[in-house]
Structure 1
């Protein structure tokens, strides 16, 4: 009887500990908005142009851009096979200061990601480093990105 009581008490303790550890998991999820908001510059490139059609450097405009992306509403999906690129949004961040380096003299911006939009369809490609993902985005996001690239 004593062994059964110890076993039951042990199981209850483990369940309580595991449940307590999972309560804050939703708070630890990765926040894409905060990550993208670290951008210092966004360039909008149109197909066939070597110069940026639009450059966004103002922090309020970048914040507005990120909020308008509505990243939490994106759905992972394959884009249709017949697509024509509309614009490419290149996101830049300040290079990371490494141990022993001064951050003051570090003004070089590094490309961290880019978003490719397509004509007449609400799909985008997001590329970060060597990872590329396709998403179906809400129509309002697609319209917003289309209006920026005009």
Structure 2
């Protein structure tokens, strides 16, 4: 009888430990990924396949990154009925020659997707997607690119 009780208790403990481990959502350290944004040479702001704005230049991209407040993003599941509003497409130069007349080829490095009437966004980098709930002022800042 003790063996059966011990086995049942062990199974219940295992289920409890495993079950809790699968339901916990781990935060992602976005500081590792923010360097990819910093290395961007250009950010296209898109809505419905139309470019609304272009962010370029070291200072402008640095200001953009600071305004994102990446350290305050919290990983959350995206609401099911979310509709993409804006896309911020991150590019870096593929080949940089030292010649002034050289044409630069840009390679997409990632995307930030915002959603209509929502404080959620998706950050895509290296074919991996992360969904976050961000501070209200971050979404307000990103929405300024619509105008």
* TM-score, normalised relative to structure 2: 0.70
Question: Secondary structure of the residue that 2:111 maps to in structure 1?
Answer: strand
Given that residues 45 and 52 in structure 2 are in contact (C-alpha distance below 8 angstroms), is that contact kept between their aligned partners in structure 1?
yes
- State the Cα deviation string for residues 52-106 of structure 1 (Å, max 9, x = none): 11011122111100111111111111111111211000000112x6xxxx74357
Indicate the RMSD between aligned Cα atoms, in angstroms: 2.0
- Find runs of 4+ consecutive structure 1 residues off by over 6 angstroms: none
- 1:61 is aligned to 2:60: yes
- Cα distance between partner residues in 2 of 1:138 and 1:30: 17
**What are the within-5 Å matches in structure 2 for residues 10-49 of structure 1?**
30-47=31-48
- Cα distance between partner residues in 2 of 1:75 and 1:41: 26
* TM-score, normalised relative to structure 1: 0.69
Question: Secondary structure of the residue that 2:50 maps to in structure 1?
Answer: coil
- 1:131 is aligned to 2:128: yes
Question: Secondary structure of the residue that 2:131 maps to in structure 1?
Answer: strand
Match of 1:143 among 127, 133, 140: 140
Unaligned 5+ residue runs, structure 1? 1-28
Unaligned 5+ residue runs, structure 2? 1-29
More strand by share: 2
- Cα distance between partner residues in 1 of 2:127 and 2:65: 22
Match of 1:82 in 2: 81
Aligned residues: 115
Rg comparison, structure with higher value: 1
Given that residues 41 and 56 in structure 1 are in contact (C-alpha distance below 8 angstroms), is that contact kept between their aligned partners in structure 2?
yes
- Cα distance between partner residues in 2 of 1:34 and 1:125: 17
